Amino acid sequence: MGMTMTQKILAAHAGLDKVVAGQLIEADLDLVLGNDITSPVAIKEMEKMKVDGVFHKDKIALVPDHFVPNKDIKSAEHCKCVREFAKRNEITNYFEVGEMGIEHALLPEKGLTVAGDVIIGADSHTCTYGALGAFSTGVGSTDMAAGMATGKAWFKVPSAIKVVLTGKPGKWISGKDVILHLIGQIGVDGALYKSLEFVGEGVEALSMDDRFTIANMAIEAGAKNGIFPVDDKAKAYMAEHSSRAYKVYEADEDAEYEQEILIDLSTLKSTVAFPHLPENTHTIDEIEEIAIDQVVIGSCTNGRLDDLRIAAEVLKGRHIKKGMRCIIIPATQKIYMDAMEEGLLKIFIEAGAVVSTPTCGPCLGGYMGILAEGERCVSTTNRNFVGRMGQITSEIYLASPAVAAASAVTGYISGPDSL
């Protein structure tokens, strides 16, 4: 019996010819990632270990992005701890305010993640890099500490769900609609412990930014990772951003999948996940008038250039509804700059939106857009759990940039076609 794409990458990094689902392996790591929330705990753990520094100063990425620029004194202390650790250990890929971005948008852009890599990160959305054909998965701080110290991590080889994409998506349909549709179908634990392997001729019709969004939210179905085949678009992306050699792995013809799911992209409609789980999905045509207070466009899920272009296309020549707040957060400094040069930021500001420096801020209820009691937000982020963006009675509706921007104009949950 053959191996899936994920299994092949894991086998190669464990020095094995073959692995099977359920097998416990120890794999070499190409990159270990942490942010300002998770790294301080990892640093404390690593310093308890009897080790002499990190395994490789170029293979660790430290990205303060959640509560930076420092939101309060305690956050400042956390960031200081990460900064000093990076300095002490001469970490090459430490990104200070001014050069940072939201980690999962930043690392591919900086060329630090490529096809064939095995990557762990102390952040659940580390699965994003599957868009490039890498195996990447979220871990906790202790695993991050062990990874930084040894360059290795143990894994249980996952079984897989094959998601076959066909057709071409309609005008306003993006990666967010694809992944929300899938989570709505299989549930928030529908892929628990498994890999989600996206294949089929429909992949071609998805931009790299769409694929990053889809792989990013694999964790919201409980998956260990999400992964895409490496086609010409992925190769072109890596050629543009990275000087690292990459390796393309393909699933065997006779690879085993526990389940196969077909998605015809041409049939998808704009999809919104209602509070308080990403699986509570509704298509835009079945949603009654739901008044909202705030819109957030950004995050590691949807803060990339394509996302901002779509939002700008909707907002151009229009204005945010009076009394609404619309917060737009380019995910990296480069995206910010590109958006500025393309005139997108001007469109946003003229429409009455506020544009922020890159930060995870509101997505996890940190700062930069916290909700008051009973307030509702349409957000392009990834989680709508109780209290995720603020007070526990506030509500988050997860949607694509197109729906978020249209909703900012009307003041209630709307698709761009209704404008």
Q: Which of 5, 21, 32, 41 binds other proteins (CB under 8 A)?
A: 41
Backbone angles phi, psi at 161, to 5 degrees: -115, 130
Residue closer to other proteins, measured from CB, 267 or 391? 391
Residues 6+ apart with CB under 8 A from 366: 66, 67, 71, 359, 360
Under the criterion CB under 8 A, does residue 224 sit at the interface with other proteins? yes
Stretch near other proteins under the rule CB under 8 A, chosen from 41-49, 55-63, 197-205, 243-251: 41-49
Stretch near other proteins under the rule CB under 8 A, chosen from 9-17, 176-184, 348-356, 385-393: 385-393
Under the criterion CB under 8 A, does residue 173 sit at the interface with other proteins? no
Least distance (Å) from other proteins to the CB of residue 365? 5
Q: Which of 202, 365, 401, 416 binds other proteins (CB under 8 A)?
A: 365
CA angle 9, 303, 235 (to 5 degrees): 35
**What is the distance between the alpha carbons of residues 58 and 37, in angstroms, rounded to a whole number?**
21
**What is the distance between the alpha carbons of residues 410 and 319, in angstroms, rounded to a whole number?**
9
Q: Which of 25, 28, 44, 233 binds other proteins (CB under 8 A)?
A: 44
**What is the distance between the alpha carbons of residues 278 and 382, in angstroms, rounded to a whole number?**
8
Under the criterion CB under 8 A, does residue 37 sit at the interface with other proteins? yes
Residue closer to other proteins, measured from CB, 20 or 392? 392
Stretch near other proteins under the rule CB under 8 A, chosen from 195-203, 289-297, 386-394, 406-414: 386-394
Residue closer to other proteins, measured from CB, 110 or 383? 383
Site string for other proteins, 46-85 (x = CB under 8 A): --xxx---------------xx---xx-xx--x-------
**What is the distance between the alpha carbons of residues 266 and 67, in angstroms, rounded to a whole number?**
39
Under the criterion CB under 8 A, does residue 188 sit at the interface with other proteins? yes
Least distance (Å) from other proteins to the CB of residue 188? 6
Under the criterion CB under 8 A, does residue 386 sit at the interface with other proteins? yes
DSSP letters along 347-410, please? Answer: HHHHTT-EE--S--GGGGTSSSS-B-TT-EEEESSS---TTTTBSTT-EEEE--HHHHHHHHHH
**What is the distance between the alpha carbons of residues 278 and 50, in angstroms, rounded to a whole number?**
42
Residue closer to other proteins, measured from CB, 67 or 237? 67
Under the criterion CB under 8 A, does residue 203 sit at the interface with other proteins? no
Is residue 112 within 8 A of residue 95, CB to CB? The reply is no
Under the criterion CB under 8 A, does residue 160 sit at the interface with other proteins? no
**Quick one: DSSP state of residue 252?**
-
DSSP letters along 86-111, please? Answer: HHHTT-TEE--TTT-B-HHHHHHHTT
Residues that bind other proteins (CB under 8 A): 37-38, 40-41, 44-45, 48-50, 66-67, 71-72, 74-75, 78, 122-124, 126, 138-143, 145-146, 188-189, 192-193, 219, 222, 224, 277, 364-366, 383, 385-388, 392
